[in-house]
């Protein structure tokens, strides 16, 4: 979570600097990390709130909800999937409360589009494995995925990945799901993003076809996915926090929604796994990695 070690946080801190806020100069930044273990999240949220900062940046719906339940006074700028469904805001355009931020899923309908791609690649599929944590599985986002799967006439396959979200827990979920289906929908769960290489490795090992939510999975060997452009999201997080530090009302700052998602396909991975990608899909791709 530093400028030197992360391209996304470099973009974030650069945006703050453009507005006159520089860490170590006139900006004090403290970092809190749950370590990808669900049981730690409440303690992590409590520690952040007890510091009484001018603003908290939160990653994930769950962490944001925990922090919001602890304070209605501290502004929160969050990376979230559906702030209205989670009860974090009254609306995207007019949040009203103490939470604003950016959305990593442009709309619930995006899951239907991702399932459509999976069915084109594996027409015989009868179910879709939702790769996510248990808490997200049981969340409003999980409900949106389930609705999209059922509307497509398919079955939602589990189990969710249990905490502490390490290789044994992922392998157990993959093993159980692979016995039922060959298609996977990877969610934007933070735990997934912290295990990109492991997930791609297990997809190849179990010979599963997956649709990923971020381009980084594709550049690291994943088959097909959307490019949400995390740099763009972190740019906006930095802009929103700058506004709040300058005195803006957090409840009047709209949530930012990326309006276009780019389709990326790793053709080299498809060929290595002997997976056929139809010409009609390749023609729709914004980027093909050969």
pLDDT in tens, 146-159: 999 999 999 999 99
The stretch 79-97 carries a mean pLDDT of 93
Q: Are residues 160 and 207 in the same domain?
A: yes
Q: Please determine, for residue 139, whether its predicted confidence score (pLDDT) is greater than 90.
A: no
Q: Please determine, for residue 107, whether its predicted confidence score (pLDDT) is greater than 80.
A: no
Rg (CA), the chain: 19
Tokens 């931020």 appear where?
A: 101
For residue 235, what pLDDT band results from cuts at 50, 70 and 90?
A: very high
Number of domains forming the structure of the chain: 2
Q: Are residues 163 and 277 in the same domain?
A: yes
pLDDT at 109: 83
Does 108 or 42 have the greater pLDDT score? 42
Q: Are residues 267 and 213 in the same domain?
A: yes
Q: Are residues 46 and 120 in the same domain?
A: no
Q: Which of 141, 203, 225, 169 is nearest to 37 (CA)?
A: 169
Q: CATH code at 54? A: 3.40.50.2300
- Phi and psi at residue 76, in whole multiples of 5°? -125, 130
pLDDT at 67: 97
Domain housing 220: 110-227+261-289
Q: Please determine, for residue 36, whether its predicted confidence score (pLDDT) is greater than 80.
A: no
Task: Label residue 152 left, alpha or beta by phi (over 0 means left) and psi (-120 to 50 means alpha).
Answer: alpha
Q: Which of 21-30, 82-91, 185-194 has the highest mean pLDDT?
A: 21-30
For residue 135, what pLDDT band results from cuts at 50, 70 and 90?
A: confident
Q: Are residues 80 and 205 in the same domain?
A: no
pLDDT tens-place string over residues 9-26? 999 999 999 999 999 999
Question: Does residue 2 form part of some domain?
Answer: no
Question: Does residue 199 form part of some domain?
Answer: yes
Asked if 185 and 207 count as a contact pair (C-beta separation under 8 A), the reply is no
In 3-state terms, what secondary structure has residue 264?
Answer: strand
Which stretch of 103-117, 145-159, 196-210 has the lowest confidence by average pLDDT?
103-117
């Amino acid at each position: 979570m530093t400028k030197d070690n992360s391209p996304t946080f470099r973009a974030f801190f650069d945006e703050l600097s453009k507005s006159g806020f520089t860490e170590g100069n006139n900006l004090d930044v403290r970092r809190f990390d749950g370590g990808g273990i669900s049981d730690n999240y409440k303690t992590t949220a409590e520690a952040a709130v007890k510091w009484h900062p001018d603003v908290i940046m939160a990653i994930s719906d769950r962490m944001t909800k925990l922090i919001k339940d602890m304070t209605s006074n501290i502004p929160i700028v969050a990376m979230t999937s559906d702030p209205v469904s989670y009860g974090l805001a009254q609306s995207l355009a007019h949040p009203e409360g103490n939470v604003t931020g950016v959305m990593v899923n442009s709309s619930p309908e995006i899951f239907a589009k991702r399932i459509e791609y999976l069915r084109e690649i594996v027409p015989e599929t009868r179910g879709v494995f939702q790769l996510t944590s248990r808490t997200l599985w049981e969340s409003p986002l999980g409900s949106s995925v389930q609705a999209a799967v059922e509307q497509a006439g398919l079955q939602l396959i589990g189990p969710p990945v249990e905490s502490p979200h390490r290789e044994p827990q992922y392998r157990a979920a993959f093993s159980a799901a692979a016995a039922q289906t060959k298609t996977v929908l990877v969610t934007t769960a933070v735990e997934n993003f912290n295990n990109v290489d492991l997930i791609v490795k297990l997809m190849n090992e179990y010979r599963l076809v997956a649709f990923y939510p971020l381009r980084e999975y594709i550049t690291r060997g994943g088959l097909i996915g959307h490019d949400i452009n995390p740099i763009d999201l972190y740019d906006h997080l930095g802009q929103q926090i700058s506004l709040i530090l300058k005195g803006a009302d957090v409840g009047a700052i709209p949530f930012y929604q990326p309006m276009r998602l780019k389709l990326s396909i790793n053709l080299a991975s498809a060929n290595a796994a002997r997976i056929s990608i139809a010409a009609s899909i390749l023609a729709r791709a914004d980027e093909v990695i050969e």
